Amino acid sequence: MARSSLLHTSVAVSATMCLLAAAMLSAPASAFSPSAMPSASTSLRGATLRSSATRGVLVPKLRLPELGNRVPSVSSLRMAISDEAQISTSGGAGGFFTGSNPEDRRVEPENANGRKKFKVVYVVLESQYQSSMTIASKRINAGQDNVCIESVGYLLEELRNPATFEAFKKDVSEANMFIGSLIFVQELAEKVVEVVEPLREKLDAVLIFPSMPDVMRLNKVGSFTMAQMGQSKSVIGEFMKKKRQENGASFEGSMLKLLRTLPKVLKYLPSDKAQDARSFMMSFQYWLGGSPENLESLLLMMANTYIYEDTVTDEIAAPVLLPDLGVWHPLAPRVFEDAEEYNNWYNTEHAPLVGIDPKTAPTVGVILQKSHINTNDEAHYTSLIQEIEARGARVMCVYTGTLDFSVPVDTFFRKSGTVPDSVINLTGFALVGGPASQDHDKAVETLAALNRPYICAVPLVFQSFEEWKASELGLHPIQVALQVSLPEIDGAIEPIIYGGRDGVTGRTVPLPDRINLVADRALKWANLRIKANKDKRLAISIFSFPPDKGNVGTAAYLDVFGSIHAVGKELKRQGYELGNFPNTPEGLMDMILNDKEARVGSPYLNVEHKMTVAEYNDMCPYSEELVENWGAAPGQLNSDGQNLLVYGKKFGNVFIGVQPSFGYEGDPMRLLFSKSASPHHGFAAYHTYLERVFGADAVLHFGTHGSLEFMPGKQVGMSGSCYPDRLINSMPNLYYYAANNPSEATIAKRRSYAATISYLTPPAENAGLYKGLKELGELVSSYKGLRENNARGPSIVNSIVSSARVCNLDKDILDLPGEDEDAKEFDLEKRDDVVGKVYRRLMEIESRLLPCGLHTVGVPPTAEESIATLVNIASIDRPEDNIVSLPRIIAESMGRNIEDIYRGNNNGVLDDVSLNQEITEAVRQSVRALVGRSTNSMGRVEAVNPMASMMEAMTGAPWTNALKKAGYDKVDEAKLAPLFAYLEFCLQQVVKDNELGALVDALDGKYIMPGPGGDPIRNPDVLPTGKNMHALDPQSIPTSAAVDCAKTVVDRLLERLYADNDSNYPQSVAFTLWGTDNIKTYGESLAQVMWLVGVRPVPDSLGRVNKLELIPLEELGRPRIDVVVSCSGVFRDLFINQMNLLDRAVKMAAEAEEPLEQNFVRAHAIEQAEELGVNIRDAATRVFSNAAGSYSANVGLAIENGGWEGEQQLQEQFTSRKGFAFNSDKPGQMDMAQDMFKSSLAKVDCTFQNLDSSEISLTDVSHYFDSDPTKVVAGLRNDGKKPMSMIADTTTANAQVRSLSETVRLDARTKLLNPKFYEGMLNSGYEGTREITKRLRNTMGWSATAGEVDNFIYEDANDTFIADPEMQKRLMESNPNAFRDMIQTFLEANGRGYWDTSEENLDRLRELYQDVEDRIEGVV
């Protein structure tokens, strides 16, 4: 897998290198015997081969390695440059994703002059060795009298191109020797094996350096082989594995020493036993050395020993190697192995020469890759060093010969006399580990001890500078996985591209504007460490979305003004200058808004700065580029017609500003564009003000989420023309982000260089029952006590049926008895059946979790507020931790299986519904007992009192007693102990808080501890909050557990569809994939798609999920279901490698020669191939998303802002913006493919989405309906039939598959219409009222895209919020603009035909709208 340079200087590419050494050391003696060696054969090039028996005579001429610390000479660098100028640029088979050409790496002797000629073909992951191999080959051709060489090199990624692959096969068939290094991309490793393996015996030698095990087994150096690598055990191999597990990455250092000493050891063994192993080790030594001189010696050694019988040269230089660990500087006389010596040289000799004052200058620590120094490929390093020093800062550059960069960090940074003020990692590696494995725990421990900002910049590997610049995707997907995702887990920030590959020479060249940006940002972070708090200037950006609607201060589940007030108080305590900062959140809000109505663009919003057009054009370097989209400045947005207006308020050195909106929310034409427009002038002026006028030392974006990170530009690896990069420029960017949204947080990290700080979502509560639902629950309880009473039982059942109809549960219970039926005519079994189905629906509502109120930063939940979360944590099996869920433990104590109870509950079996509810209640009580023992008199959690522990030893644990009290006295104590120990730990994490502490640390220029984002119920490691959030290793999903869960959900989906569709399977399912969902579930929905088409994901030999196998139809037991996969823009950015996997899976199914009635994928592909005039493989394109750098279908924007003319517009937006196809045969691009998209959607029978977390449901956000294609499909189908719409709900251990309409009803009952929800929101005032309105508008969104909202939902909402005069008053007083939006939504729902209501209701709404309008305008 790609890295900057995948550290050829290390023997320890993780587990791979342990296997390498084990293969050598554990080889049986017979492997080294003459009889085991291959016999002489005819040379491929006509020269006479040396026989195996005579090889040993050359070995003594190889001198042992000379370890030195000299820097390669300037003369050798000049020679390399002059040689490179002569490299051929003739045309040939170009690579696919990279436009480079292997012919540029072909070297042939101009005149053989009777010399023996041998041919070498090499494949490397990156181009770093290209220059050295080219120069080495030219040196041989120019300097050797007896031998000459033809060499040609291929970059691994180039093998995707069919023409290049054919050229590669031809070259290998003619070669004497093949060399491969760092071949870690599974599908390309398979291509290498496919070509080399059949020719292995014919080749004179095969040298494979750290690569996938299948490739390593190709090694052939005389009798030395790794054919059994990874397939058999050996004592040494097992010992090495054990040592590595014991010592972690530190063992890799000892492996390097082993490599250095083995040649010395092997020379004392009989030559017929050890020569070939020693030759391999010497080859690896040369390869690690990397210089042209070392590679020349490698090629000559192999020619001498394995290609020719006659000696071709008498003297071969020994490997020349730099120290394994050192401090390097391009102008230093040597590599330093001691920090004190380096600092002495730097401070006394170098600093005075370049005008740096070492006493006052900040220091930037830089982590380098040794192989770039070995190969003289360090121009990009030198350029950055010069830029940092030109800014008056010191530099300390360190490297290591292993993949454990924590060693030089500890040795030279942390323990040196001068600890850096900020650190830049230029290697592209995670701090500890290689492409095969990482030790993130050790990395975090090291970086936390260093406690400095940790920037991980990225060099281009698979692309030349020109290709990257032209690419909309930006950084190559494989590089994103390894050079961005993995360092983020260490806590790295700011993946800025700083060096690019020259397309011809392969050398790395600095990208000047990117180098400048890295230098500027590193010093800005260092400045935070040095500058006094009283002098620091902080800009806080808040958001207003949708604009003009009383929505200033929007953020997911966050009390924004209360939180900013808490931050302000903490900053004052830390010594920041905040001027006249108000005493209350309400006072703060009034000073920013001047009025809670906050009409953007009106005098009611405070204007902090008026920027003239001349000032704007002078300070904003890209202002002219915005004219094409927005006309000349100042424009109409954030403008008074003459000036650009910056909204907000300054308090001393802290500015709280309102970030402008996208600007096109209400413009139907702009919403239709397939690609997003540039920011408008007001947006650019706002960010120009922050940096150039206010002079922010840092920016704090407040809450999930703003617009900056979603502005147009590359997906990952921004260029200087990408708007997120331009807007944030050099300002350190801190970002409070909801802990449950790691995917969008990751976009902010990668596109706007944010260091995120997670905040907790509000505490969850059970929805409970209310009004008619509560009365219905009481009737069910009465029936359970009188069910066998033939007089009372039927009467209660009739009341239950009547009440269920009043509560509209007949929409969910389709076989509810009719109004004319009498339960007296039912037997007991049927009465139980009726009541069981009603009870099941009631308990579904009652037990559903909902967040109550809004979170305030720095205020953790109380002990009581944590109970519902802990109950759900206790209800999930965690086999990886050997923890059994409490419901399962209780069920097993009764001799039942919890899955059987869930199944009976879901089918409405009264006994099982009752038992499930009793188990749920027992779980609640036992968790409450756990929490109670740790709660103090203030309701806060503290450590368990030792006296209480002594009492428990005598009386029993409180949770056990609670279970016994509930009637479960046979529970397994051995299973309870680890569960409740885990719950106690989780409780401590839930109530911990570092949200303010992390912000203070970040502003002090310290390291923010990293941690995963996601659902704290599924993954309690999300807690405590206040972490620099990261996603996960994208190549780790889907996990095996996710695949198992996916199978369960897909089987239930197909069972439901089969039953509802006259025993017919759907032929095609339209799927939506979300980034956050797949992070939280470790790829469950990804695996669902694969299971539908009947393909199984398989991990490769390194544990990465990038292989597939077709599940036989016999095993599948049903047809293969076709899919149309719509990926969110965030999923595209985070998981483009998984899009590759999905596309390969669908193509695999389409190309399977199977009966069409059993393979709907193939049937549709054949039909579309004829329809669209393409081949079957291209006709099987099913993975779609937005264009690179664009996000969403804009359907949500249109509905939220009212900027849509009709449903046809929404449907056109969906197909135009989401119709870009991903093709695994062309992995570097997203192609417009609307025809294919529409053709595929036209065959869809069912639309499908997943809900994975109780915190975010269908009406909480607009994303779900924004990507819903239900009405789109109906419009495209030939029969006009609306597809079935289904939702999988995996928010609890009892996974459910419901129809969309069922889910919308459940969501409305538990949130919008539930007093527990709306009263909790109203208690939060301004923001809470907005949250209620948002859910009503999102409900209407489902009417617009799917038509699956029942009339009673609008009617009941109207009764709750509009018909009640007291409620009207509360809404008006808390947020009149949001209330006006609510009224407008009701009127719009009626006007668009989604809500049928009385004229009385409509008249009231119209009159009320005018009243609110008058109030806002000041008429009343």
Q: What HEC string does 1310-1324 produce? A: HHHCCHHHHHHHHCC
Q: What was the pLDDT predicted at 344? A: 95
* Closest by CA position to 170, among listed 188, 154, 186, 190: 154
Q: What pTM, to 2 d.p., does this model score?
A: 0.84
The letter for the amino acid at 769 is: L
Integer CA distances (angstroms), 643 to 154, 617, 633, 689, in order: 57, 12, 9, 13
Look at the alpha carbons of 729, 732, 735, 740 in this order and tell me if their dihedral is positive or negative: positive
1027 vs 1390: CA distance, rounded Å: 45
Strands (DSSP E) found in 58-184: 66-67, 116-124, 147-155, 177-181
Whether the CB-CB separation of 840 and 832 falls below 8 Å is answered with: no
Residue 558 CA to chain centroid, in angstroms?
Answer: 23
For 1206-1252, where are the alpha helices, taking DSSP H only? 1207-1218, 1234-1241
H or E element in which residue 794 lies: helix 792-806
Whether the CB-CB separation of 1243 and 1164 falls below 8 Å is answered with: yes
Unique residue bearing structure tokens 């976009």? 747
* Closest by CA position to 644, among listed 675, 666, 618: 618
1044 vs 1023: CA distance, rounded Å: 26
608 vs 588: CA distance, rounded Å: 14
Integer CA distances (angstroms), 678 to 158, 548, 629, 699, in order: 34, 21, 7, 21
Q: What was the pLDDT predicted at 101? A: 85
Question: Helix, strand, or coil here: 270?
Answer: coil
Compute the radius of gyration of the chain from its Cα atoms.
34
Say what angle helices 1234-1241 and 1207-1218 make with each other, to 10 degrees.
Answer: 120
Q: Tell me the Ramachandran region of residue 558: left when phi exceeds 0, alpha when psi lies from -120 to 50, beta otherwise.
A: beta
Q: What was the pLDDT predicted at 473? A: 85
Residue 1143 CA to chain centroid, in angstroms?
Answer: 19
* Closest by CA position to 726, among listed 694, 697, 665, 685: 685
Residue 1028 has phi, psi (to 5 degrees) of -80, 100
The letter for the amino acid at 101 is: N
Question: Helix, strand, or coil here: 1402?
Answer: helix
Average pLDDT by consecutive 10-residue portion of the chain (1420 residues)? Answer: 32 36 35 29 31 30 35 30 28 46 91 92 86 93 94 91 94 97 87 96 94 91 74 42 47 50 53 74 88 94 91 85 92 95 95 94 95 88 96 96 91 88 93 80 96 95 82 84 90 94 82 96 97 97 67 81 95 96 91 58 72 96 93 91 94 95 65 68 96 97 87 92 96 94 91 95 87 94 90 93 95 92 93 94 91 86 85 89 93 94 92 93 93 80 62 77 92 90 88 92 97 87 92 84 92 94 95 88 93 92 83 96 93 87 96 96 96 95 89 84 84 92 82 94 96 85 91 93 94 90 96 93 87 94 95 97 95 90 95 96 95 79
For 1260-1350, where are the alpha helices, taking DSSP H only? 1263-1266, 1270-1276, 1300-1307, 1315-1322, 1326-1345
- Tell me which DSSP letter residue 158 carries: G
* Paired sense of beta strands 1095-1099 and 1105-1110, if any: antiparallel
For residue 1008, what are its two tokens? 């923010």
Q: What angle do CA 692, 694, 700 make, to 5 degrees?
A: 105
Dmax (CA) for the chain in angstroms is 114
725 vs 739: CA distance, rounded Å: 24
Query: Residue 144 CB: number of other CB atoms within 10 A?
Result: 19
Whether the CB-CB separation of 639 and 682 falls below 8 Å is answered with: yes
Look at the alpha carbons of 160, 165, 167, 168 in this order and tell me if their dihedral is positive or negative: positive
Which residues are 155's β-sheet partners? 124
Q: Tell me the Ramachandran region of residue 545: left when phi exceeds 0, alpha when psi lies from -120 to 50, beta otherwise.
A: beta
The DSSP line for 14-68 is: HHHHHHHHHHHHT--GGGGSGGGSPPP---TTSPPPPPGGGGGGGGGGBPPPEE-
* Closest by CA position to 68, among listed 431, 334, 434: 334
